Amino acid sequence: CDIIETNTFNANRISQADYETEEFCYDLNKKAASIAKRACIKFSSKEKPRFVAGALGPTNKTLSISPKVEDPGYRDVTFDEMRESYEEQVRGLIDGGADIILVETIFDTLNAKAAIVAVKNVFREKKVELPIMISGTITDLSGRTLSGQTVEAFWTSIKHAKPVCVGLNCALGPKDLRPYVEKLSEIATTNVHCYPNAGLPNEFGGYDETPESMCEHIEEWCTSGLVNIVGGCCGTDP
């Protein structure tokens, strides 16, 4: 592979509060990035460099949707709390040696906006600027994110961040995700990526796509000119 991401999907204060491990967030991110960096250095060559993508997940809260059905205006987290949580995470990832910042599995674009503001703030603070990758997730065959955005609306909401790459990951398998990858490819003015799940989980919690079937789908995306970067999400581990 060319890019490996850190195992920091939930390594933020908001998510770690459930486990009372908030104080370890900076260290978790720094250590994760440094471990990934060592692996990249080990397998990099002059002809084939490898890169670390520092992963920022969506957290376990949403800024756009109330967790209380009976109180639609209620929110259990503020934009500033979300931003500060991401800022700490980004500092750790950069200090650990991340080459790219990846905002991924976006189900609520307002959460992603907090992450983007955090990334830009830390870049200014540290006087560095790394490439940003942004990855949304389509939650079902409606073609929308959990907060209700279409692919077009999602791109419009985040393109100001000038990501080096925008794409989709998780949720659906490659067959169901294809039309949304195609739409994003038509409208995006930057590189496009996709790393789908290995299909949807079966009744045993496993994934039925094989490496061969995944390869068949992804090869077609590439030959059709839809994507520049490809990979795998849930169920695609060895």
The mean pLDDT value for 214-236 works out to 94
pLDDT band at 94 (very low <50, low <70, confident <90, very high): very high
58-67, 126-135, 183-192, 205-214: least confident range: 205-214
Domains of the chain: 3-193 (3.20.20.330)
Average pLDDT for the chain: 96
Confidence at 212, pLDDT banded by 50, 70, 90? very high
Q: What is the pLDDT of residues 146-164, one digit of tens each?
A: 999 999 999 999 999 999 9
Q: Say whether pLDDT at 218 is over 80.
A: yes
Q: Is the pLDDT of residue 200 over 90?
A: no
The closest alpha carbon to 29, from 4, 56, 51, 50, belongs to 56
Out of 32-36, 211-215, 227-231, which region has the weakest mean confidence (pLDDT)? 211-215
Predicted pLDDT at 140: 85
